[in-house]
Amino acid sequence: MRDHLRAGIAIYNEGRYHAAHDAWEDHWLDLKRGTDDERLLHGLIQFTAVVYHAAEENWSGATGLAESADEYLADLPATCRGVDLREIRPFLERIAADPEGFDPDDAPLLIHEGETLGTDDLAFEATAIAAQVVAEEDGYDEDAIERAIEYAREEIDADGSGPFTGLVFSFVRDPDHRPVVAQRLIEHVQRRANRESDVEGLFD
C-alpha cells in the first residue's frame, strides 16, 4: 500500500495527473470495498481525475468527480495512511461548486508522511511501480522495463553492484534523458537474456 501510494503521489506532484491513478488502480481493485484503504485510493484516483479534467476545461466531468471524490474521502481522518487530506477536501468542494474558477496553480500538491514527494524521494519498490506506470503511459517497452526491474531486484538482494538498479532510478527520475535511459535498459536486458539463453540446457 505504501509503495503504491508514494509512487502515485510523486507522479501526481510532478504534474502527470492522468498517469498518477495507474500507480493506485491495480492495488485498489484488490481491496475490500468500503474499507478506509479502499475509500482512500478510490478518492485519490477520482481526485487526480478532477484535476486532469479541470485542467482540460471539462467542467462537467470535473464537477461530478469532485462530488464523488469528496464523498469517498469525507469520513476519513485528516491524515490517512500518511496522506494529508486537509487541503484536498476543500479543493474538491470548491471545484464541485464552481469548476470554471479553476486555476492549475490552485491544485494542491499531495503530502505523504510530511513530505511533498517527487520521484527523487522514492525508494526502489515505489520507483519500480512508477517505472511501470511511465513505461505504459509514454509507450516504452513495458516488458523490457519489467525485466529490468526484476534484474535490479536481484542486484539489490545480492547486495551487489550492477547496471539495472541505477538505470531504473534514472528512467523515473530523469525525464529529459528518459529515451536514452530506456534504450540503455533495453540493451542491458537483451544482453542479460542472451547470456541466460547461452547457458540454458548446458547441464540438462
Flag whether pLDDT at 202 surpasses 70: no
Cell numbers found for residue 183: 534504450
Q: Does residue 203 carry a pLDDT above 80?
A: no
Give start and end residues of each alpha helix (H) in 30-123.
Answer: 36-55, 59-73, 88-97
CATH architecture of 2-120: Orthogonal Bundle (1.10)
Torsions phi, psi for 153 (to 5 deg): -60, -40
pLDDT tens per residue across span 21-75: 999 998 999 999 999 999 999 999 999 999 999 999 999 999 999 999 999 999 9
Give the mean pLDDT of the chain: 92
pLDDT at res. 94? 92
Q: What is the DSSP letter of 100?
A: G
Where in the chain do CATH 1.10.3450.10 domains reside?
A: 2-120
Q: Which helix (H) or strand (E) holds 110?
A: none
Among 51, 52, 129, 117, residue whose Cα is nearest residue 84: 117
pLDDT, residue 198, reads 59
* pTM metric for this prediction: 0.91
Q: What is the DSSP letter of 107?
A: S
Query: How far, in Å, CA of 151 to CA of 156, rounded?
Result: 9
Pairing of strands 111-112, 115-116: antiparallel
Angstrom distances, CA of residue 6 to CA of 101, 156, 196: 29, 20, 34
